[in-house]
Chains A and B, each alone.
Chain A
Amino acid sequence: MSQENSKNFRTDAPLDVSRWGFPATYDVSLKRDSDDIFEDSKVLVNIGPTHPAMHGAFRCMARLNGEVIEKSVCEFGYTHRAKEKLGENRTYHQFVVYTDRLNYCSALANNVAYAMSVERLLGVEVPERAVWIRMMCAELARVIDHLICIGINAVDLGAFSYFLYGYHQRERAYTLIEKLCGARLTTSYTRIGGLMADAPEGWEREVKDWVKQTREVIEEMDRLLTENRIWLKRTKGVAIFNKEDCLRYSYTGPNARAAGLDIDLRRDQPCMFYDKMEFDVPVAQTGDVFDRYFVRVEEIKQSLNILTQCADRIKKGPVWADDKRTRIPEKERVYNTMEGLIHHFKFFMTGFDVPVGEAYTPFEAANGELGFYIISKGGPMAHRMRIRSPSFWHYQGLDPMIQGEYIADLVAALGSINVIAGELDR
């Protein structure tokens, strides 16, 4: 083997995927068996709803021609928990806990999106420190969500140790989140008009340490997998979903950016202080499994940049909006005065009234555009609480995405679009 070739197997070689000679666009017809010798052997395969590759609770029925999927029907609804109906039957404050269980891999981002949407209806503005902490929460959530997505995608294709690297770093992030709110996964950290509690002393510093660690871990993970030949063969040119398809199926987030659809709400319609941040939006062109993986890896690096900038600029101050309606009474007052106790009781039992109006508030969550569309007819409960979850639209694209692919690539495709059951079924 010549020196030139042997260099390719080194894990620390710079990334140049073109040298493997994979075609930029993949002709699906190549994959079909040349003559239809399997005419008689068309079989129906049922995968799920508890198949390990189906990530919990999806079901996919496929008609196979040999090993190629001819037609598939994807089903879901196996974790439907009626969150939209609950939104009409719970007060705005009580609904915070249900938002955790939407995309449970990044619960903090859901909390932030929901709190923002109700504050927009109320006209409440949270103070600066709360906004900075919320931004850090959203970015932290994005990093750990992407870590779990690429980790599980790799597990499904056989790279188990890769998952352990990412998961170890995720455990460290849990420690940071526990310091904020005491919970690991389902955080319920934001409140309407503020936060549950201020971040503890020195939390920013710990986040910066964690960012430093994560950069190293990402480098390591990158070296481990990105140029691995088996990984490239399993992902390059597999399950292509191009820009036009993304537009037709309303893809957002990393999945759309992997196909060249350059949408990122953080840059295009900045809320909070995203307009003061410096970051890039990674965009790939092909839209195959590898691009979706690689966009996520790059996005983690950008999110880490944002986290550092936030940690540098965050200032001390209050975390609650100066608004009597939404402020949860302090425990000091509740335990020592009658008025405080009554206020506390009324707040939690009847909730606060939100004026008549309707608003759709989008937010760039880890998976794409997470939107809360709330119709309020006055009173403490919403008239309609619509949750626009990115996974719903992404999972819809799985059917056309896997037409003409091998049955084994269904696993790769499903893992790469990162469908989360809680968000999909709501």
Chain B
Amino acid sequence: MNVQTLIPTIYGGWKEKFSTQWGSMIEALKTKFPDHIEEVLLPDAHPVDIPTLFLEKTGALEVLRELKEVHGLSFLTDYTASDEGGEKRFHLILHLMGVATKVRLRIKIRIAESELFPSLIPLWEGANWAEREIFDMFGIRFEGHPDLRRILMDVRWEGHPLRKDYPLRGYQVFLSPEPIDPELFK
């Protein structure tokens, strides 16, 4: 558990500074949404740098709205995914930050390959491209996303490069520039 080793020059004070805020926040969430929170990893017991909440898929949007509107974590720092294998193959990973307090929190949601996850655009409009990137790289689909196209790769690309089963050198060659759908301008 080396993440716990405090390095004073690299954010050494985070744990002391934020532990009370983290504690009260997680307690409040646990009492309000007992069903939606699957698991809580705390920096004291697990090798994580900030508390990590595993949310259940169906209630995730509610909990995130609560975090944003009540607990002041209104800044979506990062939104990504990782390929963990197994039955619930992917983890969606969000990093939230409070603008005033600068407290950070990590949210994870386990999701299977075929499952849809509701889009977070109603909460943060910036999630739009992040979700497109997750779709492009991992193939996770989002419900209610207005424009779920590939973003980094060519629209004609097959497969999702950041999945663990995609080869590092799986080239795909196209002979014409990427087309842009004129429907986008209607």
Contact = CB atoms under 8 A, between A and B. Distances in A.
B9 A373 contact: no
Q: Binding site of A, secondary structure by majority: helix, strand, loop or mixed?
A: mixed
* Category for how many chain A residues contact B: 35 or more
B50 A360 contact: yes
A221 interface: no
B180 A61 contact: yes
Contact of B161 (A82, A261, A357, A358): A82
B29 to A, nearest CB: 20
Nearest to B161: A85
A373 B80 contact: yes
A122 B10 CA distance: 12
Interface in A22-64: 44, 46, 61, 63
Interface residues of B, number: 51
Contacts of B82: 375, 383-384, 386
A121 B2 contact: yes
Contact of A360 (B95, B133, B151, B182): B95
The CB with the most chain B CB atoms within 10 A, among A44, A122, A123, is that of A123
A287 B74 CA distance: 20
A359 B49 contact: yes
A44 B182 contact: yes
A396 B129 contact: yes
Interface string B1-17: 11111011111001000
B129 A392 contact: yes
A204 B130 CA distance: 42
B150 to A, nearest CB: 8
B125 interface: yes
A276 B151 CA distance: 42
A271 B10 CA distance: 5
Interface in A80-98: 80, 82, 84-86, 89
Interface stretch (A141-149, A247-255, A330-338): A247-255
Given A44-B182, A358-B47, A247 B74 contact: yes
23 contacts: A44-B182, A61-B184, A80-B153, A82-B168, A116-B10, A119-B10, A120-B49, A121-B3, A123-B5, A125-B8, A126-B9, A249-B125, A249-B126, A269-B102, A271-B10, A357-B47, A358-B48, A383-B82, A386-B80, A393-B126, A393-B129, A396-B126, A425-B152
Given A85-B168, A271-B11, 5 more contacts: A73-B184, A123-B2, A123-B7, A355-B1, A358-B3
Interface of B: 1-5, 7-11, 14, 47-50, 52, 74-78, 80, 82-83, 93, 95, 99, 102, 104, 106, 124-126, 128-130, 133, 137, 151-154, 161-162, 166, 168, 178, 180, 182, 184-185
Interface of A: 44, 46, 61, 63, 71, 73, 75-77, 80, 82, 84-86, 89, 116, 119-126, 131, 247-250, 261, 263, 268-269, 271-273, 355-362, 369, 371, 373, 375, 383-384, 386, 388, 392-393, 396-397, 425
